[in-house]
A and B are shown apart, each in its own frame.
Chain A
Amino acid sequence: MEVVKFLEKGPGLALFLGFMVAVLGVVIFLIRRSSKKEYTARIVFPVIFMEIAFVFLIILMGFKKGSANTVGPAVVPLLWIIGIFAFSIILIVKVLLGHEEKDPEWGNIRVAVTYIIFTVLYLIIMQYLGYYIATVLFLIGGMYYLTYRNWKVMISLTAGWLVFSYLAFYKLLYVPLPQGKLISWIFG
């Protein structure tokens, strides 16, 4: 069980997850070159689920066993892991038998991904410049990116949201909104 101890956290975990990603890459590469090319996502999703279940399964081997008359901590998660494997295999078989539709078309994926990046940046900036500045950047920048140009609405909405979050969350509900590391460093 020393192996499990190594794989369950820190560098061992990173190595383990890296390996799983590599396996996924190989799987995608193989499907792309096969006759099921148009079903890539239909197959990749169950494969990802099985990989997640596999990671959990390996870690689960390190759990202590239950004594007589008790159900140990590993039993129930193991049940769910088996379930994930079973249904993933059913889904893959359905694709191979031709019972599945082709992959859905991607829409305007660029906008969606850009917005995900915006949201992540928002969270990061919030920790350095504080909640309010980050929110201003996010809301104004976000609407601007979507080609919205009504400045009256953009500014009043942003200012209104700032005042609302300050009064309702910070003042009334005592939610300690992030002050920002840089800001508190400057202001002491």
Chain B
Amino acid sequence: MDLLSNLVTGFGYLAGVQPAVAIVVGVILGILAGAMPGLSPSMGVALLVPFTYKLSPQISLILLGSIYIAANYGGSITAVTINTPGTPSAVVTSFDGYPLTKMGKPGVGLGTSLIASTVGGIIGTIILIFFSVPLARLAVKLHPAEYFALAIFGLATVASLGGKNWAKAFIAAMLGLLINTIGIDPISGVQRFTFGNYKLFDGFALVPALIGLFALSEVFSRMEEYKLEKGVVAKFEKANWPKFMDYWKLKFTILRSSILGTLIGIFPGAGATIAAFLSYDVAKKSSKHPETFGKGNPEGVAAAEAANSSSVGGALVPLLALGIPGSATTAVLIGALMIHDVNPGPLLFVERPDIVYSLFAALLVANAVMLVLGLWGSKLWIKVTIIPKKVLLPSILAISIIGSFAVHYSIFDVASCIGFGIAGWLLKKHGYPAAPIVLGMVLGKLAETNFRRAVLMGGYSVFITRPVSIILLLLAVASFAVPLMQNRKNSSE
């Protein structure tokens, strides 16, 4: 087979010293960038682009691809250990990862996230290798009506995120959605709720808001408790790393989440965060013990991490097969390729198979390297949980401040991060969860712009005349209603 022989050639290319160094350096930098709140995968990749000018296109792409893969895993480390998601998609990882840490089992959270990320990354890459061309053709056919339905499907997960506090969860989501409308309206070009301040023309940036809502609010809550002598964990048992059988129990969750994550990653504009939210919701609904989700169920960690890592493979599908960037990170990658006069697109597979297949091989190897480095690194990361809070909490604040500054080099972003931190602390204290706010901020534009674009392109009837759209919308209604009804049943019992 042509594909396999190309792949073998690709692996052969990795045999040199340079590619090996590129992969290892890429994975290390990626894990660190991911773990650093404020450096999302796209920024991690973007900030390294200037260094690739002098490298060959293959090595550049191998380096940047390794960073991309590893950054998605790195975000989970801080999410599990200190409830500070390093990347937007790791918000979902923290739902169960941090409760595990608080129960004194940070090893379970860290181990599960590493294994799920690795397996997810490999599955995503395999799907990319074998199906990229047909899948890419399918992805561009997706109509705005279907994107809208997908966004609504994602929003419906609020119903199950909220649990008993569903009304508060909905308010939180609505606030996130309303915040997301601030800025210049992408469809009509008019300013909305900018209060005459040009710094709000693009609205509030997601990453500073995220750092505020999760990291800062957590710090303020801990301050309020003022039991600061010890670490997050008083002490943890040496033997609490999961055994092989513990991972084996998660096989279906990981497999399902990986496939779902890859598929969602393919669609331009959807991305890792939505993939993580959706597959968490699916895992929760298909679990026999949905009530344990959010309280430290390793399945939740596995679902989130497998999905966000596999979405990397998905996001590369339209980039390589069509030359179309579907996410912020792939938009940066396309820029990096163009510096080297490489134009991604269908012709790339024919004209420069060396570039394409060495990247494929490198992604597979990078996942393996990530596993090795991650296993070794986790023994270090886990120590973060026993740092006394008197030292840890000020440090988290310092990290958060520099992280939110690094997004746009803007003091305004840092100030809004602190604002979101105070609001998040007060809201959380009174039973309003922060995750729906993030969900609203992630999905708001996707839902609104695609709704209006769809109407512009085909009138209001498109939503029901297109089969994919109507099916997704019906599914959304169902996933909306089921948890609410279950709640009602539980509370009446």
A and B: interacting chains: yes
Contacts from A to B (Cβ < 8 Å): 8-10, 13, 41-42, 45-46, 49, 52-53, 56, 59-60, 63-64, 66, 69-73, 75-77, 80-81, 83-84, 87-88, 90-91, 94, 103-104, 106-109, 111-112, 115-116, 119-120, 122-123, 126-127, 131, 135, 138-139, 142-143, 146-148, 153-154, 157, 161, 165, 169, 172-178
In the complex, the answer to whether A84 meets B171 with C-beta atoms within 8 Å is yes
Contact between A178 and B411, CB atoms less than 8 A apart:
yes
The answer to whether B432 touches A13, judged by C-beta atoms less than 8 angstroms apart, is no
**B243 located at the interface, meaning its Cβ lies under 8 Å from any Cβ of chain A in the complex:** no
Return chain B residues, CB-CB under 8 Å to A104: 429-430
* Inter-subunit contact B192/A122 (CB<8 Å): no
In the bound complex, CA of A81 to CA of B425 (Å): 23
B309 at the interface (CB under 8 A from A): no
Tell me whether B409 and A112 are in contact (CB under 8 A): no
B393 contacts partner chain A, Cβ-Cβ < 8 Å: yes
Give A81's nearest chain B residue, CB to CB: B178
- 12 pairs, A vs B, C-beta closer than 8 Å: A10-B196, A45-B432, A70-B187, A70-B452, A73-B188, A84-B174, A88-B171, A90-B167, A115-B220, A116-B418, A142-B394, A148-B388
Q: Does B175 contact A (CB under 8 A)?
A: yes
How distant is the Cα of A63 from the Cα of B389 in the complex, in angstroms? Answer: 49
Neighbour of A69 across the interface among B168, B395, B456, CB < 8 A: B456
Distance of A115 Cα from B170 Cα, bound (Å): 30
Contact with A along B141-182 (1 / 0, CB 8 A): 000000000000000000000000001101100110110010
| B451 contacts chain A at the CB level, 8 A cutoff | yes
Q: State whether the Cβ of B280 lies closer than 8 Å to any Cβ in chain A.
A: no
B455 & A71 in contact (Cβ 8 Å cutoff): yes
A127 and B411 within 8 A (CB): yes
Q: Given A10, A76, A109, which contacts B451 in the complex, CB threshold below 8 Å?
A: A76
A176 in contact with B409 (CB, 8 Å): yes
B358-397: CB near A (< 8 Å → 1, else 0) gives: 0000000000000000000000000000001111011101
Inter-subunit contact B188/A56 (CB<8 Å): no
| Distance (whole angstroms) from the CB of A175 to the closest CB of chain B | 5
In the complex, per-residue mask of B190-230: 1 if CB is within 8 Å of any chain A CB, else 0: 10110111000000000000000000100111011110100
